[in-house]
Amino acid sequence: MRRRLRYWLHHGERQRLLWEEMQFHIESMTEDLVAHGMCEQEARAAAHRKFGNMTQQSEQARSTWIACWLSDLAQDLRHSFRGMRRDAGFAAFTILIAGLGIGASSTVFSVVNALLLRPLPFRDPARLVWLTNGGDFTAIQTEHYSDLRELNRSFSDLAGWCAYYFPGDHELTGAGEPERLTSVPVTQNFFEVLGVQPMLGRQFTTGESQGKYSAPPAMLLTYNFWRSRFASDPNVVGRRLTLNNTPATVVGVLPASFDFASVFAPGTPVDIFVPWPLTDKAKPSGNTMKVVGRLKPGATVRGAQAELAMLAKQLESRHPERNPIAPRLALLEQHVSGPVSPALFVLACAVGVVMLIVCANLSNLQLARLGARQKEIALRSALGAGHFRLLRQMLTESVALSCCGALLGLVLAEAGTREVAHLHAFNLPLLESVRIDGSALLFTFLAAVASGVVFGLLPALRASSISLREGLQDAGRGSSGGKRHAWVRDGLVVAELAFACILLVGAGLLIRSFLRVLDVNPGFQPERAAALRIDPSFRLSSLARQNSFIDDVLNRVRAVPGMVAAGITDALPLRDDRAWAVAAAGQIYAKGHQPESFVRVVTDGYFAAAGIPLRFGREFTEQDRASSERVVVVNETFARTLWPGQNPVGQMITTDKGRRVVGVVADVSHAALEAASGLEMYLPMRQTGDYADMQLVVRTALPPDRLAAGIRTVLRPIDPNLPVREFVTFQDLVDKAVSPRRFLVMLLAGFAGFALVLASLGIYAVISFSVSQRTQEIGIRMALGASASDLQRRIVLRTLGLALAGLALGMAASRALGSALDSLLFGITTGDPVTYIEVGTLLILVAAIAGYIPAWKASRIDPIIALRCN
């Protein structure tokens, strides 16, 4: 084998030597013949005759060390590249289109691969299970967690993290610029359960996990934070930093492969992890913990589910004082990628359809070119190229073209995946791990070969069936088409149009849904509103101290020129959530039927700053303080739910030691624009200390960014350590909430646009080809008195005929496939007539234009020239 390889590597040299050897043979034979009395010239000719075709002989001899197919392949490839050079325009066009198609396919494959196919970046992810409490995203109480962890037999361990962390919860000081960090409190065994080893240092110890919730003694850095803040300094482990004014030690750095945010909280990068002391009584209470578990070998999700349900029932009866618990299990992989899989499925189908259009288009192009190459092919077969050999040569040509396209496609896919991986604002899991890897390369290669075969097959079959006589006859091009041939090309164009129609309908439905979503009134006015986190770096020891801080901040900020309104809240719409059970005074609710309401703690001015309209009663004022009556403002849904048909203003709720409703405001979208907002209540910040963070919300006359510097300047005297990294506009919040939908719409619209361009090119090519083939006929018609407009009408009508056929097929298919989009639509149905009408009009219009250009050219044919040209 090694020898064979060596021979092959030096095959040029060996070929030359073999040639020389055979030359010597002929010479010797000639000499012998001369010795027998033949004249020299005759002898040489006889020797050559006897020896036969030297090239063929050497090829045969060579075939002992080079497989025959390999040298044929090399020959075909050489021929293909020569052909490409000769017909550079065609080759460039083919490579460009195939490249765009393959690039799009590889990009989508990489996204699908990262989000659905590739295992999660944890040890043995197939045994990781996500535990929720009833609803999909509901957390459980830590006390329940501790008991379940102890009692269950299905899991090797359960771990949890605090669901109530917010961007910028912890403030890092004492190491350069103060900075607000996003930190996630986790149970001590969290990384062990996931199977993640710190890259540097160690995990949390039990001791570190028994401190105070408000003052974590240790922290683990995420890889990205380590790189950006500490410049990848390996000596950072063991350093003492100041976190929320208390010292904390860096105990380790997590590996780059562990990306908590991308799996569990897409769109919110995490900086550090801190231990979560479950023993601390002062930790947040209620349903605060999200839980993952690792199944024991052999345990199933179903079995674990049954066991936990039984345990939960026992716990509920033993601890009636706790929140209800209804554990629901799902494999972590399903939980993470489940919600995005319908969208990905649609994307994958769309890109498949794009590839089909690309193939149809290129196939058509090849067929058109075949007319011009007919003589070449006939000549080849006359010289002895067999049917199969011709077929293979044509296929080699198209695969070579599509592989060149794949190279271009890889460049595009590399750029595309890089772009996708950096869409930080997008709320999609695992997006950052999208990249071109080995499997994507393999996919690209397979896609290139497959598409080459698919678009080359029809022309190749056609080429190898060209009859010798027909091909070599110099009958000119007029007769070469033939009925069957034209039918194939028309069919390809109709298929292209039908596919384009399917994509356009899909994209149209999603775009219209997207516009509907953007039209949803979020309950606040995002324009010119922005939020800045301003928690003071010192402790607000009393309500009085807190209120003077609030007064100070608001007075200073409101004095900034260009400020329209300013207020403070603890939770931004579409981002933060916290819910309490609520009850109207004097009402009894059955267990499990008590309404739950989102809680926001706000100051006066917040409603004006966020642009939330007041419906009844009054807003908070500066007078709603600790000393005055405890009040609450609720939203319309809250009022409707608790006091149907009554005036809510003046009513009492028993929640939070009893509060009187003084006003009703509009509903604000809370979880997503597509979902109803639910119950909401607003507590005056000056009456409570029960909130986690302070977000200054401003409404400005100018774009908020312009005022950022001014706001920082006026706040500096109050708290010189105020970190000012984060300045979130409300528009950002809305954008982020719609980002997954935007992602899908952008990609699908891009595909549909590409498909439309390809389909119109296809029509144009077919029509202008048929026109050029019928130049003579057209000349005769015109000479006999056909008017230009008559001619144009005939050609455009033929185009429209094709377009209508494609449209009808495409619409029918769209209607049949529509249900795949069902879960992705909002506000419209899959049969939305407006979309269908718009797509139909667009396609007909484009087809008419694509057909009119050749028609116009045809009508300018000079009959004399046309008739003379043969």
Partner 1 sequence: MGSEKPKVDLLPGTLDMLVLKILMRGRFHGYAIAQLIQQLSDDLLRVEEGSLYPALQRLELNGWIDGEWGLSANNRRARFYNLTPAGRKHLSQESVSYRQVTGAVARIMGFA
Q: Using CB under 8 A, which of 27, 40, 124, 419 touches partner 1?
A: 27
Q: State the nearest-atom distance from the C-beta of 381 to partner 1, in Å.
A: 24
Q: Using CB under 8 A, which of 13, 16, 39, 60 touches partner 1?
A: 60
Q: Using CB under 8 A, which of 13, 52, 468, 689 touches partner 1?
A: 52
The DSSP secondary structure of 115-157, one letter per residue, reads IIISPPSSSSGGGEEEEEESSTT--EEHHHHHHHHHH-SSEEE
Tell me how far CA of residue 281 lies from CA of 165, 211, 278, in angstroms: 18, 11, 8
Q: Using CB under 8 A, which of 15, 45, 65, 580 touches partner 1?
A: 65
Q: Does position 42 bind partner 1 by CB under 8 A?
A: no
| Residue 753: CB atoms within 10 Å | 14
Q: Does position 483 bind partner 1 by CB under 8 A?
A: no
Q: Which two three-digit tokens encode residue 417?
A: 């995946």
Q: Does position 613 bind partner 1 by CB under 8 A?
A: no
Sign of CA dihedral 221, 224, 228, 234: positive
> Considering beta carbons, is residue 27 or 790 the nearer one to partner 1?
27
Amino acid at 584: A
Closest listed residue to residue 102, CA positions, set 356, 346, 343, 342: 356
Q: Does position 71 bind partner 1 by CB under 8 A?
A: no
User: By CB under 8 A, which span of 27-35, 302-310, 370-378, 622-630 interacts with partner 1?
Assistant: 27-35
As separate numbers, helices (DSSP H) first and strands (DSSP E) second, the chain gives 27, 24
Cβ contact 784:469 at 8 Å: no
Q: Does position 285 bind partner 1 by CB under 8 A?
A: no
Instruction: Write the burial class of residue 474 (CB in 10 Å: 0-12 exposed, 13-18 middle, 19+ buried).
Output: exposed
Q: Does position 9 bind partner 1 by CB under 8 A?
A: no
> Considering beta carbons, is residue 3 or 484 the nearer one to partner 1?
3
Q: Does position 45 bind partner 1 by CB under 8 A?
A: no
Q: Does position 34 bind partner 1 by CB under 8 A?
A: no
Q: Using CB under 8 A, which of 11, 15, 31, 703 touches partner 1?
A: 31
Q: Does position 29 bind partner 1 by CB under 8 A?
A: yes
Q: State the nearest-atom distance from the C-beta of 422 to partner 1, in Å.
A: 54
Q: Using CB under 8 A, which of 36, 85, 483, 591 touches partner 1?
A: 36
Residues binding partner 1: number (CB under 8 A):
28
Residues forming a β-bridge with 652: 660
Q: State the nearest-atom distance from the C-beta of 441 to partner 1, in Å.
A: 34
User: By CB under 8 A, which span of 17-25, 95-103, 511-519, 567-575 interacts with partner 1?
Assistant: 17-25
Tell me how far CA of residue 330 lies from CA of 99, 125, 659, 717, in angstroms: 40, 12, 40, 51
Count Cα neighbours of 300 within 13 Å in the Cβ-side half-sphere. Answer: 3
Q: Does position 465 bind partner 1 by CB under 8 A?
A: no
Q: Using CB under 8 A, which of 15, 22, 331, 437 touches partner 1?
A: 22
Sign of CA dihedral 313, 318, 324, 327: negative
Q: Does position 10 bind partner 1 by CB under 8 A?
A: no
Residue 681 sits at φ, ψ, to 5 deg, of -135, 150
The vertex-779 CA angle with 776 and 783, nearest 5°, equals 145
Q: Which two three-digit tokens encode residue 588?
A: 């009894």
> Considering beta carbons, is residue 29 or 579 the nearer one to partner 1?
29
Q: Does position 479 bind partner 1 by CB under 8 A?
A: no
Q: State the nearest-atom distance from the C-beta of 78 to partner 1, in Å.
A: 23
Q: Using CB under 8 A, which of 17, 256, 709, 783 touches partner 1?
A: 17
| Residue 668: CB atoms within 10 Å | 22
Q: Report the alpha-carbon distance of residue 15 to residue 23 in Å, rounded.
A: 12
Q: Give the containing element (helix H, strand E) for 567.
A: strand 563-569
Q: Does position 8 bind partner 1 by CB under 8 A?
A: no
Q: Using CB under 8 A, which of 57, 156, 197, 242 touches partner 1?
A: 57
Sign of CA dihedral 326, 331, 336, 340: negative
Q: State the nearest-atom distance from the C-beta of 79 to partner 1, in Å.
A: 25
Q: State the nearest-atom distance from the C-beta of 354 to partner 1, in Å.
A: 48
Q: Does position 41 bind partner 1 by CB under 8 A?
A: no
Tell me how far CA of residue 314 lies from CA of 163, 299, 701, 821, in angstroms: 25, 21, 58, 43
User: By CB under 8 A, which span of 3-11, 523-531, 552-560, 612-620 interacts with partner 1?
Assistant: 3-11
Instruction: Write the burial class of residue 469 (CB in 10 Å: 0-12 exposed, 13-18 middle, 19+ buried).
Output: exposed
Q: Report the alpha-carbon distance of residue 848 to residue 803 in Å, rounded.
A: 8
User: By CB under 8 A, which span of 63-71, 259-267, 462-470, 602-610 interacts with partner 1?
Assistant: 63-71
Q: Which two three-digit tokens encode residue 636?
A: 């319309």
Q: State the nearest-atom distance from the C-beta of 70 to partner 1, in Å.
A: 15
User: By CB under 8 A, which span of 19-27, 672-680, 705-713, 724-732 interacts with partner 1?
Assistant: 19-27
User: By CB under 8 A, which span of 52-60, 95-103, 749-757, 798-806 interacts with partner 1?
Assistant: 52-60
Q: Report the alpha-carbon distance of residue 723 to residue 182 in Å, rounded.
A: 13
- Most distant CA atoms of the chain, gap in Å: 136
Q: State the nearest-atom distance from the C-beta of 72 to partner 1, in Å.
A: 17
> Considering beta carbons, is residue 36 or 591 the nearer one to partner 1?
36
Q: Report the alpha-carbon distance of residue 160 to residue 276 in Å, rounded.
A: 9
Q: State the nearest-atom distance from the C-beta of 5 to partner 1, in Å.
A: 11
Question: Between 173 and 202, how does the x/- string for binding to partner 1 read (CB under 8 A)?
Answer: ------------------------------
Q: Using CB under 8 A, which of 15, 58, 197, 323 touches partner 1?
A: 58
Q: Using CB under 8 A, which of 13, 20, 40, 376 touches partner 1?
A: 20
Q: Does position 64 bind partner 1 by CB under 8 A?
A: yes
> Considering beta carbons, is residue 37 or 561 the nearer one to partner 1?
37
Q: Does position 21 bind partner 1 by CB under 8 A?
A: yes
> Considering beta carbons, is residue 23 or 257 the nearer one to partner 1?
23
Closest listed residue to residue 508, CA positions, set 748, 180, 781: 748
Closest listed residue to residue 321, CA positions, set 269, 268, 375, 285: 285
The DSSP secondary structure of 229-250, one letter per residue, reads HHTT-GGGTT-EEEETTEEEEE
| Residue 380: CB atoms within 10 Å | 19
Amino acid at 280: D
User: By CB under 8 A, which span of 2-10, 188-196, 617-625, 774-782 interacts with partner 1?
Assistant: 2-10
- Rounded to 10 deg, the angle between the 341-382 and 88-112 helix axes is 150
Q: State the nearest-atom distance from the C-beta of 124 to partner 1, in Å.
A: 50
Q: Using CB under 8 A, which of 5, 13, 24, 41 touches partner 1?
A: 24
Q: Which residues would be at the binding site for partner 1 (CB under 8 A)?
A: 3-4, 7, 17-18, 20-22, 24-25, 27-29, 31, 36, 38, 50-52, 56-58, 60-65
